[in-house]
């Protein structure tokens, strides 16, 4: 697979280990930056990774920030992106198997390098099951997304 990898300065300390893991697992890294520990804005990198997936330039994504929170919130604003923070290996594979998660988000200030590598490895190995109940639930998620795009949900 082609894996879009993006991070802010908070996620940058994990970046090279994740690049090495993705490549060692036989996948291609689509590098979306950032390339240093200089302060940047995490939504910019969530958008870059989301665009790669939507354009077909990448199959899945990995996003890294300090906590994993900001970058997952930003990524989930992009229709078609299903991003989850996964700081345990069960969620890292189950999120793909049940929920068709296409982006994993990690907090580099929360997980160490060795756990991060195991999390991304579990994410990369997992496949959506296509079981009826999971497809039904995914379709409900996609329907919420469609309705939001049509302007159904208004905040007072
Ligand atoms: C950057 O300092 C930090 O706020 C960011 O990496 C992330 O943790 C936000 O959720």
What is the C-alpha to C-alpha distance for residues 116 and 132, in angstroms, rounded to an integer?
31
What is the C-alpha to C-alpha distance for residues 48 and 51, in angstroms, rounded to an integer?
5
Q: Where are the domains of the chain?
A: 2-127
Q: Is 65 a catalytic residue?
A: yes
Q: Is 9 a catalytic residue?
A: no
Q: If you average pLDDT over residues 134-153, what whole number do you get?
A: 97
Q: Kindly state if the Cβ of 6 falls inside 6 Å of ligand 1.
A: no
Query: Residue 155's pLDDT band (boundaries 50, 70, 90)?
Result: confident
What is the C-alpha to C-alpha distance for residues 75 and 43, in angstroms, rounded to an integer?
7
Assess whether pLDDT exceeds 90 at residue 7.
yes
Summarised one tens digit per residue, pLDDT across range 110-133 is: 999 999 999 999 999 999 999 999
What is the C-alpha to C-alpha distance for residues 77 and 82, in angstroms, rounded to an integer?
9
Question: Which is the catalytic residue, given 7, 65, 86, 105?
Answer: 65
CATH code of the region 2-127:
3.40.1400.10
Residues 83, 76: contact at Cβ < 8 Å? Answer: yes
């Amino acid at each position: 697979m082609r894996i879009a990898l993006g991070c802010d300065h908070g996620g940058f300390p994990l970046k090279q280990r994740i690049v090495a893991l993705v490549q060692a697992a036989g996948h291609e890294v689509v590098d979306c930056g950032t390339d240093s520990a200089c302060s940047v804005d995490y939504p910019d990198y969530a958008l870059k990774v989301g665009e790669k997936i939507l354009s077909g330039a990448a199959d899945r994504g990995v996003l890294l920030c300090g906590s994993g929170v900001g970058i997952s919130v930003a990524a989930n604003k992009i229709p078609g992106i299903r991003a989850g923070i996964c700081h345990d290996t069960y969620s890292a594979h189950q999120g793909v198997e049940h929920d068709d998660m296409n982006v994993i988000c990690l907090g580099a200030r929360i997980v160490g390098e060795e756990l991060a590598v195991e999390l991304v490895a579990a994410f990369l190995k997992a496949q959506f099951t296509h079981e009826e109940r999971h497809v039904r639930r995914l379709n409900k998620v996609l329907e919420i997304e469609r309705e939001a795009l049509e302007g159904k949900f208004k905040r007072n």
